[in-house]
Amino acid sequence: MSDDPQLLGTELPGRRSQVVTIALVAGIVANVALLIYGLARTGEPSGVARTAGDSGGAVAAGGDGGAGAGGAPTADAAPIDPSAPAPADLVAAPTLAEIRKNKWVPFAGSYWRLYGGALAGSQPKSVVAARSGAVYVTNTGFHDRENVHRWNTQTLEVEARASFKGNAVEQVLSPDESILYVSNFYHEEVLALDATTLAVKRRFRVGKVPKHMAISRDGATLFASNWDSGTTTIIDIASGKSEEIAVGVQPRGTAVAGDQTKLYVVNFDSDSISVIDLATRTVVKTLADVGCDAPRHAVVTRDDRWVLVTCYHERHVVVIDRRTDEVARKVEVGKGPKTVDVSYDGRFAYTADYTGHSMSVIDLSTWTSQTIPLPVWRASGLAVSADDRHVYVTGWDSRSLVVVDRWLPGDPIAPPSKQQPTGKCLRTGGKGC
């Protein structure tokens, strides 16, 4: 069931100084009012957006890019306080032992640490983080039961369960977060689950062995890659009608461009990327020589500038220029990167490194990276929370869900969770993670 071979502005000329004075006073009053309102919203972000400059490939906040929860709008950023003291207990070249002690890893002006973790289901694969705070995990190893779990991220406990015939693979949330779409490995279908109760609401027929999915920004169209059919199914959600488009061999990752004009499908076995024009619903370009052995997953950056593709049989991410649909560069990450996601502020990309048992962080302004070992075995799924404060990673062979903190300047530095990773590493007799 796995794709692992082993497992699968204008300035106005004021005519009178009085007019200018009134305008200035009005502006000051408005800003003071906004400040007071912001302070009153205890625990909520201020709405001040953070951006990174676009110099040689930097990414700005505000785009969609099809990352995260299937086209969710960029989350309001936290207030930045440059004078806030950085976390102590830092380790620049982290070892697994140091990560287990919840030490902070500094990189590119930000800091990460292990927050906590819990034992998950069987072969936990995909993880999706909702803006509401809920986190969903598919348990691919469970057949006909416990297919999807909804987690409470405060307590790291399961709050809801879905059980249906088959095996869940990947998932994507509707933009309004009311529906969770899940691909069903054996049954050639995509299920629409109620995002709160996880009850099955609808079923859509697709090709053989559906894997990854993407959804349009308006939530009207769903795209599913079909591993065994060599096709991508395009579904009109309202009517349930669909059509299949032939792509490469063993299509897996899918990503919708931020401007909603193209769909990128990465083909695992043919080492290629199919570019589908969504107006004509035809493959308009095939990138057959991208220097990526077993491309697995793709995401478009928040500013719609780049497509990031993981190379599963390597330790690289290939970067596709959205303006030309050509390879711009390769970035080294941990071994066997599976899933990739992008922070909502547009500064970083993260990969779950399957054979490296790690998470890598890419600085999208410099294309440098830092790999952080994690107490998981076979890191598989990865998702970023909408406030950028957490990264969720699943451990396929350690049956675990772990949470990584990202510190934002001005945040209080709270203690890590008392619930720490306890998953047994099945491939190492309990050792190694």
Q: Which of 54-63, 278-287, 296-305 has the lowest mean pLDDT?
A: 54-63
C-alpha distance across the termini of the chain, in Å: 23
Helix (H, G, I), strand (E, B) or coil at 112: strand
The pLDDT confidence band at residue 428, using thresholds 50, 70 and 90, is confident
- Residue-wise pLDDT for 139-187, tens only, equals 999 999 999 999 999 899 999 999 999 999 999 999 999 999 999 998 9
What is the fold, at CATH topology level, of the domain defined by 96-428? Methylamine Dehydrogenase; Chain H (2.130.10)
- Residue-wise pLDDT for 261-273, tens only, equals 999 999 999 999 9
Q: What is the reported pLDDT for 289?
A: 85
User: Are 149 and 158 a contacting pair, CB within 8 Å?
Assistant: yes
Per DSSP, the residues of 166-203 read S-EEEEEE-TTSSEEEEEETTTTEEEEEETTT--EEEE
Q: How far is residue 329's CA from residue 290's CA, in Å, rounded to a whole number? A: 10
Q: Which two tokens stand for residue 409?
A: 């300047």
Q: Regarding predicted confidence, which is higher, 32 or 90?
A: 90
The pLDDT confidence band at residue 189, using thresholds 50, 70 and 90, is very high
Question: pLDDT averaged over the chain?
Answer: 85
* pTM for the model: 0.84
Q: How far is residue 378's CA from residue 395's CA, in Å, rounded to a whole number? A: 5
Mean pLDDT, to the nearest integer, of 349-360?
98
| Percent of the residues in the chain that have a pLDDT greater than 90, as a whole number | 75
Helix (H, G, I), strand (E, B) or coil at 152: strand
Q: Which of 54-63, 81-90, 291-300, 319-328 has the lowest mean pLDDT?
A: 54-63
- Residue-wise pLDDT for 10-29, tens only, equals 222 333 334 333 333 344 33
Q: What is the reported pLDDT for 426?
A: 80
Q: How far is residue 190's CA from residue 186's CA, in Å, rounded to a whole number? A: 11
Residue 120 has pLDDT above 60, yes or no: yes
Q: How far is residue 2's CA from residue 226's CA, in Å, rounded to a whole number? A: 13
The pLDDT confidence band at residue 425, using thresholds 50, 70 and 90, is confident
* 272: β partners: 267
- Annotated domain spans of the chain: 13-42, 96-428
- Residue-wise pLDDT for 217-233, tens only, equals 999 999 999 999 999 99
Contacts of 217 (CB under 8 A, 6+ apart): 64, 71, 175, 256, 260
The structure tokens 């697995």 sit at 296
Q: What is the reported pLDDT for 3?
A: 55
The pLDDT confidence band at residue 312, using thresholds 50, 70 and 90, is very high
Question: What letter would DSSP give residue 314?
Answer: T
Query: CB neighbours (10 Å) of residue 260?
Result: 17
